[in-house]
Amino acid sequence: MAKAKTQQAHTGKAPTATPTAKTTYHACYKRFAPQAMALPDRDVEVCRADVRIAFANVKRGFQAACADPARIRRALPELPLDDVLALPDLGRALVFAATRVTAKPASSGEIEAKLKVVIELREPMLTLAETLAKRGLLPKDVVAEIRAGSGKYDLASDGMALAHLYEEHAVALRGKHPFSQEEFEQLREASEWLLDTLTPEGARRPAAKQRGEAETMRDRLWTLLVRRYADLRKIGYYFHGDAFEEVTPKLLSRVSSTAVDDVSEEEEIEADAGGGEDAGEGGNHGAVSQPAVVSSP
């Protein structure tokens, strides 16, 4: 996927980490992917877990153990607390990665549907952007580069760049365009999906290769999560002693139905992952009833 451009170095094409009102699963995935890929191959663990169960336990443990980060820093100065505080977002990245393993290869119909969204929004947004650039409200070079190029991949790149451009200059453009935030989100989501699904030449990636890459990233993110969750359990033990199992449960512990509400956030993943199928393996959809604790990291 093309890289984002910062405010200091505009190119108009496919920015990463586009500012949004909330942290999306996809944004979390892109944030942690480089860290996961940096792990030595020999250290990577194969993920055979139901990642939604693990994610529910991560959030449960995080909320119970990390309410006072300053206190933790004073008590455990050598513990990598910043990594621990990022655990919920790392869990979101893992859930997103798991959807890419289980999702069906994109059909031509799905690709055309996403392209239709981008095409319908791109032209009016780009035409107005050219007018706004002439009036000095948008950078002319960025807008010109968005207009240049052709092909499906370029269209997707344009869509993401336009959504970013309007958001980056939202204050200057307030009241000067008719587009809603919902339209910008639709354009961004469709563009991200296409950039993940298409090659720069516009052809679909071979399904086997795509699945293999997705499995690799899922395993690496899982390994990162296991390592960092161990530090969270150290915090639980330091402050709660033998009760730490209740505060910071094992990653694959089954949680009670009262904790299921915390998993409802995961339903956002379908929109965020571009319609991918359920991420959990073995048909589990998050937390289940109270009993058994399974062997886990």
- Which range has highest mean pLDDT (143-152, 215-224, 287-296)? 215-224
DSSP string across 107-124: PHHHHHHHHHHHHHHHHH
Are the C-beta atoms of residues 214 and 205 closer than 8 Å to each other? no
Q: How many residues does the chain have?
A: 297
Residue type, 197: T
Which residues, 6 or more positions from 205, have their beta carbon under 8 angstroms from its beta carbon? 197, 198, 199
Are the C-beta atoms of residues 94 and 55 closer than 8 Å to each other? yes
Please tell me whether the overall predicted TM-score, pTM, comes out greater than 0.75 for this model. no
Of residues 214 and 1, more confidently modeled? 214
* Residues paired with residue 198 on neighbouring β-strands, in sequence order: 204
Instruction: Give the model confidence (pLDDT) of 93-146 as tens digits.
Output: 998 888 877 656 667 788 889 889 999 999 999 999 999 999 999 998 888 888
Any idea which of 60-64, 112-116, 206-210 has the lowest mean pLDDT? 206-210
Residue 253 is classified by DSSP as B
Any idea which of 16-20, 87-91, 264-268, 269-273 has the lowest mean pLDDT? 16-20
Distance of CA 181 to CAs 3, 30, 174, 187, Å?
A: 23, 23, 12, 10
H or E, element range at 4: none
If you average pLDDT over residues 79-95, what whole number do you get?
93
